[in-house]
Each structure stands twice: as C-alpha cells, then as structure tokens.
C-alpha cells in the first residue's frame, strides 16, 4: 500500500505525470503506425518511387550513380554529348554512345534521396526475394507485400515523426504549447502525409529539409532584430539557409527555386548587413548545387539532365510522356505560346482545386482567412510573408514543371510541391482557431475541450475512414505485380536488355536493365531519316531480348492511340499479335509463353522459360 501511495504521489507531485503523458503519446503513435500499415500499406505504385529505389540499390551495390531504368531521351542526350566530347573517335559500330552495353548513368534524379536510401540499404538487410508462405508478406499462398517497399515506407514514417516533432517545437516557439500540441496532433492525423510516407517518394525527407529552412529563417529574423550570437551568428545562419536550400534542390530540383523567397526575406529583414547576407546565402546555395550541376553537364550536356526539359513535357508539342520516350526529339518547333498554355492550364487547376484543399484538410480555410489577421508577434508576421513567398514561387514551379507523373498519380507525386507548406499552413490555421475560440462565449470551461475535440475530429476524418472497411489491397495491380516481373526478369541474364511500358518496375523488382517503350514499333517508310522505333536500339545500340507490355498499353484508346497512330504504332502491333495471333515478320522477338494473362503481352527472342 505505501508503494502505491508513493507512486501516486510521484505522478501527481514529482513530475511523473509528464512522463506518463509522454509514454502514452509514444504508445499511441506506435499503435497508430502499426494499425495504418496493417490497414492501408500499399506496395510502390508510382514510377518515381521505384526509379529512386532501384537507383539507390545500384549505389549501395557499388555500381555508381547508374540506373536500370533507361529513358530513350536519356540515350539521346548521352549520344549527343559523347559525340561532341569524343568527336570522330566516337563514330563506328563499336562505339557505345548511348552507354547501354554497360551500366547506364542516371541523369534524371537528383542525388540526395537515392544516396540516403542507399545508406539505409547498406545498414539494413534488404531481401528482394518474394515469399508466398510467410505471414504478412503473403496472403493465402499469394504475394501480398514486398519487403523492401515496406522497409522504405517505415523509414519514411520515421521521417514523418521527425516532421511532427519539428512542427511541435516550431509552433511552441512562435505561439504557445496549446497551438503546438494541436498542430502536431493534426499533422499526425493528416491522412495525406501517411500516404506520402508509404509511397516511397522523397517528400518526407524534403519536408524535413523545408522545416529546417523555416527554423533558419525564424532564427535569422530574430538575430536581425536583436543580435545575441555575436557578429558571426547571423552570417552562419545565412550560410546555413543557403546550404539547406541547396540540399533541398539536390533532393528535388524544383525546391531550389525557394532561394528566391530566402533572398527576398534577407533583403527585407536581414538588418544592416541585409545585402551582404543575401549574397552569402546565394553563394552557399550555388556552392552546394554546382558540383552536381557540373557532373550532369559533363555526362549529358545539360545542367539537370532530362529534368532540364520538364517545362517542355505535357505541352501541345510533347503531350503525355512522349518526350521521355523520344530517341530523336525535335526542339526546333518550340515556341513561347506552348509554355504559356501549359502555365495557364496548370495554374487554373492549382488555384481552383489544389490550393483550397491543401494538405487534404479544410484547416487550410483557417489559414487563408488568417492572412487577414494581424499578429502582435513580429516574427510570426514576417514568417507569414516568407510563407506567402514560398506559395507563390512553388505554385509557378509546380505549374511549369508538371509532367505526366502528376496525371498518373494526381495527389501522390514528387511534383506536388505545395504539400511541403502544409505544416506551416496547419500551424497558422490552428493559431487562428484558438484566436476565435478565445472570443467564443462558452457556458463553462469544459465546453472548450469539446469544441477542440470536434475541430480535431472533423480535420482528421480522412484518417479515420482508413480504419473502416474495406481494407486496402497492398498489391498495386494493375499494372504492377512483382511476382510476374521477377519471373520475366529471371529469364534474362544480368547484362541483357528488355523493353517495357513499365521499365521502372522491371528495374526495381526484376533488377534487369529495361528501356522505355519507344514511340514506334517499326521504322517509318515515309520518313527514313527518323529513328524513333524498336530497331533504332535493337539493331544499332544493344539487342533487346524481351518485350513486356501491360494494361497501360494493352488497354489504350483504340482510335487515337492505335488506329490513327499508323501502321508503325505499337497499337497496330498489338492487334497483329493478340487478335490475329501472329507476330509481324519484321519483329525479332517472336516467342510467347502460354498461360500469360490476356491483358499482358510477353515476347522473347527464344523460349527462355524452358530450362535446358
């Protein structure tokens, strides 16, 4: 009995209640994480996630910054660069201008996230084999979850918890503990962030970097008003802010545009050394970005590789993913109106659809209304100006940089830049909620907690629905089914080449070099000078040993994608193979396994599935 009394006394008087609250909070977070993964985990379903993961594996396996997912446009840039660099010595049948016969250098992805994943793969035992017998990874003798996908998702969920912690301390510094607790709680209950955490994208890491930048901005503003760290304190913060933007730019190129609001903020609120501080931050940013830009230029002749042309993608000149699948793109037809049309179309969608539902919660409405509210705290007001500058810059960057990736996965994609701002938006929205709550006339104080509870419940409804039927199927089919991919990849030797309409899947799950489906199947007799077809790679660069087509192509629109595309189109080729049961005589891959699903087409150079 005395022991129980001592325990109660420690809880009530000795500070034990604080540890109890922390313990219960940690337990709740763990249970929520386990429950979400059990109910809603889904294997990778985006091109970017699998592309980044296979690139990280190559780095971890000491294969350098190379990729198994090969874009025809990447081949074009490398060929052009190697010809210019090597001159006459690059000409000849033995020349590997497209760098397909060895490991193909990656010129599509910035390096930070793949390198971080590579470190994770070095530390943890990643098992790439598929099991159909072990629970959780299988279900009723069928494939269910892919272990590396799940481990990467757990890593991103740890980053998500780091984001919540940063939001808590930032909100407590700017406002008060009540705003901090509710802001971090709403972050934890934001279903959109949980989906990003299991997507395999770099978004969680980028949010951590952005919040680090926000901390730098807050400290810079305070140091500019009332110096506390001596003459070098604000200089170090300026350098750090430029370095952080540089790291963000090396995680996602579009993040680099945030150097603009950082420089404007320093010029406006940097104190007496404002111009010098802005120049210091700019130099630090350039110093971080320059080595990687130089590497890309040396390899491909472009500062950001294939990403240099993101502004050209999904324009009327290169709709959908045609540019990435082009072996001989023609940029002589580019004109300003094409970019204006893209900007206008995408801006309209962002302003009317994406901004109002920013973060997947109506708390955004509180933030938008809060723009009209004046704050007594000068740091809060100035940080809001920085936030608005970020909204403007990222909106323009997202509109111009939008590609087919956003069409295929509208919410969960790396081109969703505005989601980075959601933590700050939530903090400002919650602060306005508390300001309104203070003005409410409540009959007694306990009603206040009921109002806060209802507010939180309404904001977290999408997360609550996750735990209601039906349960999410972890298999991202169609079109991604890892066992089928590994079966096809098993027919190929390590250095052999495949072609597919989902090459990122073959690269990640199958660990085989795979080129994206070219624009045409056969050479164009009307225009013999163009080489945008299967033959241009198979005959002149490296033999293609297997072709794998999925519902992405097999379920194409008949009139526009098949019939009107011409005789050299893949649609016409599919009609010949599937409906007429006849592989065209000009096509070198003419062997097809029996029993394959009708919505897929697999062709090889010989019957590789028959073991000798």
Residue 13 has pLDDT above 60, yes or no: no
Helix (H) or strand (E) holding 201: none
CA dihedral 217→219→225→226, nearest 10 degrees, is -170
Q: If we measure between CA atoms, which residue out of 126, 123, 198 comes closest to residue 160?
A: 198
Q: Is the pLDDT of residue 416 over 50?
A: yes
pLDDT score of 107: 97
- Using DSSP bridges, classify how beta strands 513-516 and 497-500 pair: parallel, antiparallel or unpaired: parallel
User: What residues contact 302, with CB distance under 8 A and at least 6 apart?
Assistant: 77, 107, 296, 308, 309
Distance CA 61, CA 52 (A): 14
- Residue 88 confidence class, pLDDT cut points 50, 70, 90: very low
Higher-pLDDT residue of 151 and 533 is 151
Q: How far apart are CA 305 and CA 539, in angstroms?
A: 26
Pick from 147-156, 522-531, 592-601: least confident: 522-531
Tens of pLDDT along 428-485?
A: 999 999 998 988 887 877 889 999 999 999 999 999 999 999 888 999 988 899 999 9
Q: Which of 153-167, 240-254, 404-418 has the lowest mean pLDDT?
A: 404-418
Assign 106 to helix, strand or coil: coil
| Nearest of 452, 453, 427 to residue 375 by alpha carbon | 427
3-state secondary structure of 143: strand
Instruction: Tell me the two tokens of residue 511.
Output: 């660990």
**H helix runs in 549-604, sequence order:** 551-554, 570-574
Identify the residue whose tokens are 């980075």: 420
Q: What does the block give as tokens for 535?
A: 């033959």
Res 294: pLDDT: 98
Question: Above pLDDT 70, what percent of the chain?
Answer: 92
Report how far residue 30's alpha carbon sits from residue 397's, in angstroms, rounded to the nearest whole number: 36
pLDDT digits (tens, 9 = 90+) for 23-55: 888 899 999 999 999 999 999 999 999 999 999
pLDDT in tens, 279-313: 999 999 999 999 999 999 999 999 999 999 999 99
Pairing between strand 104-105 and 66-67?
A: antiparallel
pLDDT, one tens digit per residue, over 563-601 is 555 677 888 888 888 877 888 888 999 999 988 888 899
Q: Are 512 and 58 in contact (CB under 8 A)?
A: no
pTM over 0.85: yes
């Amino acid at each position: 009995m005395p022991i129980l009394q001592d325990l109660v006394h420690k809880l009530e008087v000795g500070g034990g209640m604080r540890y109890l609250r922390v313990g219960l909070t940690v337990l709740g977070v763990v249970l929520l994480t386990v429950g979400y993964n059990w109910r809603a985990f889904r294997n990778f379903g985006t091109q970017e996630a699998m592309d980044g993961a296979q690139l990280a594996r190559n780095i971890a396996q000491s294969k350098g910054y190379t990729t198994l997912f090969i874009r025809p446009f990447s081949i074009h840039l490398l060929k052009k660069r190697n010809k210019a660099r090597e001159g006459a010595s690059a000409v000849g049948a033995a020349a590997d201008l497209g760098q397909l016969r060895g490991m193909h250098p990656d010129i599509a992805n910035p390096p930070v996230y793949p390198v971080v994943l590579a470190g994770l793969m070095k530390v943890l035992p990643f098992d790439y084999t598929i099991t159909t017998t072990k629970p959780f990874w299988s279900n009723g003798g069928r494939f269910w979850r892919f272990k590396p996908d799940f481990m990467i998702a757990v890593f991103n969920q740890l980053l998500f918890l780091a984001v919540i912690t940063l939001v808590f301390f930032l909100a407590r510094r700017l406002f008060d503990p009540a705003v901090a607790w509710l802001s971090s709680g709403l972050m934890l209950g934001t279903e959109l962030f949980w989906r990003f955490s299991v997507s395999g994208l770099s978004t969680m890491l980028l949010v951590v970097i952005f919040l680090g930048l926000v901390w730098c901005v807050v400290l810079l503003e305070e140091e500019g008003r009332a110096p506390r760290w001596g003459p070098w304190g604000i200089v170090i913060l300026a350098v750090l802010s430029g370095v952080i933007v540089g790291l963000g730019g090396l995680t996602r190129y579009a993040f680099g545009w945030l150097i603009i609001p950082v420089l404007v903020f320093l010029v406006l609120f940097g104190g007496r050394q404002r111009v010098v501080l802005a120049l210091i931050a700019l130099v630090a940013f350039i110093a971080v970005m320059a080595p990687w830009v130089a590497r890309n230029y040396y390899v491909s002749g472009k500062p950001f590789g294939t990403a240099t042309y993101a502004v050209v993608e999904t324009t009327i000149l290169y709709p959908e993913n045609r540019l990435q699948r082009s072996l001989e793109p023609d940029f002589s037809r580019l004109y300003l109106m094409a970019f204006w049309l893209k900007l206008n179309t995408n801006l309209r969608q962002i302003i009317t659809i994406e901004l109002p539902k920013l973060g997947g919660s109506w708390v955004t409405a509180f933030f938008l209304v809060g723009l009209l509210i004046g704050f007594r705290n000068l740091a809060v007001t100035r940080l809001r100006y920085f936030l608005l500058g970020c909204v403007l810059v990222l909106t323009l960057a997202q509109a111009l940089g939008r590609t087919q990736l956003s069409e295929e996965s509208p919410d969960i994609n790396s081109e969703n830049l505005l989601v980075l701002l959601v933590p700050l938006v939530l903090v400002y929205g919650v602060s306005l909620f508390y300001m309104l709550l203070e003005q409410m006339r409540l009959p007694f104080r306990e009603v206040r907690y009921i109002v806060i509870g209802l507010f939180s419940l309404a904001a977290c409804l999408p997360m609550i629905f996750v735990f209601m039927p039906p349960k999410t199927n972890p298999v991202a089919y169609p079109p991604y089914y890892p066992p089928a991919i590994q079966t096809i990849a098993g027919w190929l030797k390590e250095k052999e080449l495949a072609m597919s309409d989902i090459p990122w899947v073959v690269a990640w799950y199958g660990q085989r070099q795979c080129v994206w489906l070219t624009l045409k199947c056969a050479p164009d007799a009307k225009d013999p000078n163009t080489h945008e077809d299967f033959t241009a790679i198979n005959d002149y660069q490296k033999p293609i040993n297997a072709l794998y087509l999925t519902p992405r192509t097999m379920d194409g629109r008949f009139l526009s994608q098949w019939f009107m595309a011409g005789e050299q189109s893949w649609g016409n080729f599919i009609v010949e193979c599937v409906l007429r049961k006849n592989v065209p005589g000009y096509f070198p891959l003419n062997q097809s396994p029996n029993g394959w699903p009708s919505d897929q087409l697999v062709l090889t150079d010989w019957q590789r599935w028959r073991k000798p």
